[in-house]
Amino acid sequence: MWRYWLDFWGKFVPRNTIGSTCNILVINGDIIDGVHHQTVNLISNSWEVQEEMATKIIRAIPFRFDKVFVTRGTEAHADIGAQSEERIAKAIGCEANEIGEYSSWQQWLDVDGVIFQFAHTISTTSSAAYESSAPMREMVSGLVEAAQWGRPLPSVFVRSHRHRFIPVSIPTDTGRIWSVITPGWQLRTPFVERIDRMRMPHIGGVVFKVEDKACQVLEKIYKLPEPRITRI
């Protein structure tokens, strides 16, 4: 996992941002695992220790960003009201929003005319056949709200939470709209083992590249080891 992390930030991101005039990092929620469900699978069940470790890892990323944003994740991982991620966001130098907070439940970013909406949570599924349903529903919901109330329509909806990468897009008369669920940086937990025996999480990250008012989705998914089969 650590080798993959270093490869992503040291090779994949620099290679796919050559010539960029502005680089933005969005950490889309659940930065730490927190203290939940009586877990004993962590190095430490201390909020302070986990936050300190996460802060050090983020600060050590070997790539420089012009701005950093933190989207709040689930309260099971980020504490009530996402207090943990608020503290981490402040520690890593995020800018305060309009009400003086360093993290937000949603991030709306206008990148050269391409509007992104980042939010952490999205519904899950135990069937690979229905993995595209939730990101499609997010787009439809956005289209309805935009039409009903004249609100801005995101060109790119970004969600996380499921630890499974999937991009869904549809064409429009103003360009393609994307709904993307990002991969994550956590291996299978006892909870995952209970709800799904076969599917593995997707480890990696996504670079969204904006050029000529269009977004290109560039993902890096790292292959996980095959299961050990005991020969009898």
* pLDDT tens-digit readout, 161-189: 999 999 999 999 888 999 999 999 999 88
> 3-state DSSP helix/strand/coil percent for the chain, to nearest 5?
30, 25, 45
Other Cβ atoms within 10 Å of 212 Cβ, number: 8
* pLDDT tens-digit readout, 102-128: 999 999 999 999 999 999 999 988 788
* pLDDT tens-digit readout, 191-224: 777 777 788 999 999 999 999 999 999 999 999 9
Which of 105, 91, 20 has the alpha carbon at shortest distance from 53? Answer: 91
Q: Where are the domains positioned within the chain?
A: 1-13+23-33+43-104, 106-223
Q: Under a CB-based contact definition with an 8 Å cutoff, are residues 125 and 181 in contact?
A: no
Residue 223 amino acid letter? K
Q: Which residues contact 131 (CB under 8 A, 6 or more apart)?
A: 125, 162, 164, 166
Question: Taking residues 82-98, what's their average pLDDT?
Answer: 96
User: CA-based angle 41:203:158, to the nearest 5?
Assistant: 110
**Structure tokens belonging to residue 143:** 């289209």
